[in-house]
Amino acid sequence: MIDFIRLVVGFDQREAIAYHVFVQSVIQKSSNPISFYPLSNNSLSFYNEIHTDRSNAFTYSRFLTPYLMNYQGWAIYLDGDMVCQEDISLLWSLRDSSKAVQVVKHDYKTKNNKKYLNNINIDYPKKNWSSVIIWNCAHPKNKLLTPELISSSEGKFLHRFMWLDEEDIGELPVEWNWLAIEYPPNPNAKLIHYTLGTPCFSEYSQTEMSDAWNSTFESTMNGYKKS
C-alpha cells in the first residue's frame, strides 16, 4: 500500500492564491505522493466556528486535524502562507511515535505590531508553534480534540498545546518553519513562512525572502520552468 503524505493546509479566501502557490511549491519538490486537505470553512459543516479573535479563517480549525484523520495515522498541518523549498518527504520522515505533536519551538519577540490586513500582531507564549505541526493523530491525548472542544476552547489552550504535557511536544529544526522578516534571510530555509504577510499583498510583495514566493507564483500561473 502506498503511504500518502497527508497535508492539511490552512485556507483563507482573502488570500486564496497563497494556498495554491504553497501547494505548487510542495508538488514541485516532492518525491512521494501527497494528499492535500484544504481547511476551507465551507467544507467543515460539522464544526461550529464561534471565535471572534481570529486573524485568519484557520486560526482554530487547524486543531481539527486528528479528527479529520479519524484519529488514525499521521498528518502534517501547515499554514497556507508558506513556500516549500525542500522535498516535503524529508519533513514526513521526522515523525516520532513517542510524541503527540512535533513543532518548531520558536522563541522570539515580533518586530512588528501589525501584520497583513491590518491585523494586530501580539506576542504570546509558543507563538507560531502551531503553524507547522506533525500530528500523531492516533496518540491518545489527541483524541481529546473534538470539534465541540475546539469550538468552545480559548486560543491559549489550543495554541499553547495545553491538552498535552511538555514531554509530548517534540521539536523540529527551525528551517522547517523559517519566519520571513522576523528572522534574517536564510537561503537554506526548507519552509519559508510569511507570517507577517504573504507577498500576494502589495505591501509585502518585495520584502525579505519574497523572491521565493514570487517565483513560485510565476510557475503556478505560467508553468514550471526547471532552472
Tens digits of residue pLDDT in 83-97: 999 999 999 999 999
Cα 202 off chain centre by: 22
User: Mind listing the domains of the chain with CATH numbers?
Assistant: 5-222 (3.90.550.10)
Task: State yes or no: pLDDT of 194 exceeds 90.
Answer: yes
Query: Across all residues in the chain, what is the average pLDDT?
Result: 93
Task: State yes or no: pLDDT of 54 exceeds 90.
Answer: no
CA 78 → CA 2, 17, 38, 58, 153, distances in Å? 22, 15, 10, 10, 21
Nearest-angstrom CA–CA distance, 35 and 9: 10
Mean of the pLDDT values across residues 8-37?
Answer: 96
pLDDT of 67: 98
The residue to which cell 500518502 is assigned: 4
Tell me the HSE value of 81 on the side-chain side, using a 13 A CA sphere: 29
> What's this model's pTM, rounded to 2 decimal places?
0.93
Q: Strands 74-78 and 5-10, how do they pair?
A: parallel
Nearest-angstrom CA–CA distance, 200 and 144: 36
pLDDT of 224: 56
pLDDT of 57: 84
CA triple 157-162-166, angle to 5 deg: 155
Mean of the pLDDT values across residues 129-144?
Answer: 98
Q: What's the grid cell of residue 40?
A: 476551507
pLDDT of 226: 55
Mean of the pLDDT values across residues 141-168?
Answer: 97
Mean of the pLDDT values across residues 49-66?
Answer: 87
More confident residue, 39 or 50: 39
Residue 96: CB atoms within 10 A of its CB come to 13
Angle between helices 16-29 and 210-222 (to 10 degrees): 90
Mean of the pLDDT values across residues 206-218?
Answer: 96
Mean of the pLDDT values across residues 107-111?
Answer: 90
pLDDT of 222: 87
Nearest-angstrom CA–CA distance, 87 and 84: 8
